[in-house]
Structure 1
């Protein structure tokens, strides 16, 4: 497999935080990059944005962030893998990052663009001991309360229950990733089982690894859902991940705290004025509404299970191997 990489500048460090996005999601990735640098001002990593089919352009007003742009040409590598309607094969690009950038980086922290960074020492995270695992990740929220729950994709492939992670934040050990043949195994499974696969690379990763990954604290990928958002405000995780179709920049129902929308709006107006402002809901979620009552009840009933899950991580840098 031949992968070609063209960069706007050489690598500066041996570690990198990488977002994969197009211009549509560039404002959100750029805000996350700014937040990361604010959180870890003395850092030993590059911040990169990788793309393939849909190039991106960093505005001059954000030149101070020093973002490294990477055009990763994977040719036909992802042909035969299933795609959701309206998606390009760029949704699989993170699979190829270790092979594409092995000459530049020893560690890669891949991050989705729909994240919001509140703090954390990213240099310390990227130096975490993963043992001989190819990657570290945070358990998917379907297993926060029920760790033995069997993921739907495992059922469809006839695989047993195993720890299942969310692929929105992935700490990749480049040497172990390549040595394990993870990319090749994911491509083989994805083509062979395309009719039975759900969504994209998250299920490929989990189905191939079947628990062979290092578990990171949820503070690095707090999946912001109706069932855990109040716990989020109390716990104060480092990284909030806006999973699903609902996002704070298109919040029609007023279900997100206004602080998110206001921050995104200020950033976009300053650096991406042509992008269009965030949607402003007519009203915030009413305190006495059915959805609010449902969330409150869910939090009450799941509080002990969430406490057990969080207790497995004494610090945000605890890694379970």
Structure 2
């Protein structure tokens, strides 16, 4: 039986997963200052394309600035920072030892040192998520990837990997080290070359739409509608000016190059929102705009998670028009839940003015009356 030795993270992942038995899944990328603009776009695209998904996002890094880390954290509530062991890869045989980009290309291999998760999905920072990733989140076996575009089915493209726990092991790391130190791999393919040498074709093949390389679109071809992840391989990145012949692809990337205000509003306009993302993006949006409808959504999310005081604080911070019944109802529910019954009664009575909210508001009023032992008033509200 393999012994797993945990690597202490700089920021620990949420511990609740161990208690609930929920499968532990994480996304992961290696990020440095040069590729930070791409990573910020990647985070926005992941949230907007998969608004109901919020897993830990492991950020491997060698020397990010505090200001860069703050920008990353602003875009995701479950960032897990891990500093790579850069010197570990100095012993690997490489095609160009002095090229700093070549050296950093190997750092993503640190992902195999994680011991905290059942599944890890790696994403290169020059990717943009355009579609649903539910199929990837449901994978349970093997190491999955898209085959390389130019080299047939035997070799994988390492831009996206779906790695199961069996590969997050000391034994697999030892195989990586052996190949890296011996140089028995395609040196110009860096981390990808090592993985292909270790796996020798033994990986789960994913459809190309999960790692759709831009080279498929040469000549300004449009991005296919079913593309889930678009990968800007090559030297010229969209945030560095891009490359001639790929304008339509780069337009898709720029859809997610936006400021916080635009991004928060875009996320809140989606359906099926994850609680953690709703709160993370919705709270600053409400503080910035005073948007009552957004405040109602975020407060309802707090209530669903049992965070009643947070709901009271947020909705209490905005001015709710008298005739906006739904926010009054939600605030009344939150106030009732923290035993501020008189204030709750006022809010719920305001909500009864709207036929589509009246039934729920009267039900809560009846419940409060019954709690206070006033059966006559409880009956009046219950039958209203």
**1:189 aligns with one of 179, 185, 194:** 179
CA distance in 2 between counterparts of 1:138 and 1:27 reads: 25
Structure 1 residue 106 corresponds to structure 2 residue 118: yes
What count of residue pairs does the alignment treat as equivalent?
A: 247
**C-alpha distance after superposition, 1:236-264 (max 9, x if no partner):** 30000001112223225363226246436
Structure 1 residue 91 corresponds to structure 2 residue 105: yes
CA distance in 1 between counterparts of 2:252 and 2:225 reads: 17
Alignment partner of 1:77: what SS? Answer: helix
**2:233 aligns with one of 231, 237, 243:** 243
Q: Is 2:144–2:161's contact at 8 Å kept on the other side of the alignment?
A: yes
Q: Is 2:30–2:125's contact at 8 Å kept on the other side of the alignment?
A: yes
Higher Cα Rg, which structure:
2
**C-alpha distance after superposition, 1:48-84 (max 9, x if no partner):** 3211345562345962521414123426321222264
Structure 1 residue 7 corresponds to structure 2 residue 10: yes
The match for 1:17 is 27
Q: Is 1:18–1:47's contact at 8 Å kept on the other side of the alignment?
A: yes
**1:117 aligns with one of 118, 129, 132:** 129
CA distance in 2 between counterparts of 1:236 and 1:267 reads: 27
CA distance in 2 between counterparts of 1:231 and 1:75 reads: 39
In 2 relative to 1, CA 184–141 (structure 1 residues): closer, same or farther, beyond 3 Å? same
Unaligned stretches of 5+ residues in structure 1: 149-162, 272-321
Question: CA RMSD for the aligned pairs?
Answer: 3.3
Which shifted more, 31-40 or 240-249?
A: 31-40
Structure 1 runs of 4+ off > 4 angstroms?
Answer: 1-4, 53-56, 226-232, 267-271
CA distance in 2 between counterparts of 1:237 and 1:191 reads: 37
CA distance in 1 between counterparts of 2:185 and 2:122 reads: 27
**2:76 aligns with one of 50, 59, 65:** 65
In 2 relative to 1, CA 28–111 (structure 1 residues): closer, same or farther, beyond 3 Å? same
CA distance in 2 between counterparts of 1:203 and 1:58 reads: 30
CA distance in 2 between counterparts of 1:39 and 1:116 reads: 10
Structure 1 residue 263 corresponds to structure 2 residue 277: no
**1:173 aligns with one of 159, 164, 168:** 164
**C-alpha distance after superposition, 1:281-315 (max 9, x if no partner):** xxxxxxxxxxxxxxxxxxxxxxxxxxxxxxxxxxx
CA distance in 1 between counterparts of 2:84 and 2:5 reads: 9
Q: Is 2:32–2:61's contact at 8 Å kept on the other side of the alignment?
A: yes
**1:37 aligns with one of 30, 47, 70:** 47
TM-score (norm. length: structure 2)? 0.56
CA distance in 1 between counterparts of 2:257 and 2:49 reads: 20
State the Cα distance separating 1:170 from its structure 2 match. Answer: 0.5
Structure with bigger helix share is 2
In 2 relative to 1, CA 75–23 (structure 1 residues): closer, same or farther, beyond 3 Å? closer
**C-alpha distance after superposition, 1:151-183 (max 9, x if no partner):** xxxxxxxxxxxx10100000011224427x332
CA distance in 1 between counterparts of 2:174 and 2:145 reads: 20
CA distance in 1 between counterparts of 2:127 and 2:109 reads: 19
Q: Is 2:58–2:82's contact at 8 Å kept on the other side of the alignment?
A: no
Alignment partner of 2:91: what SS? Answer: coil
CA distance in 1 between counterparts of 2:159 and 2:203 reads: 15
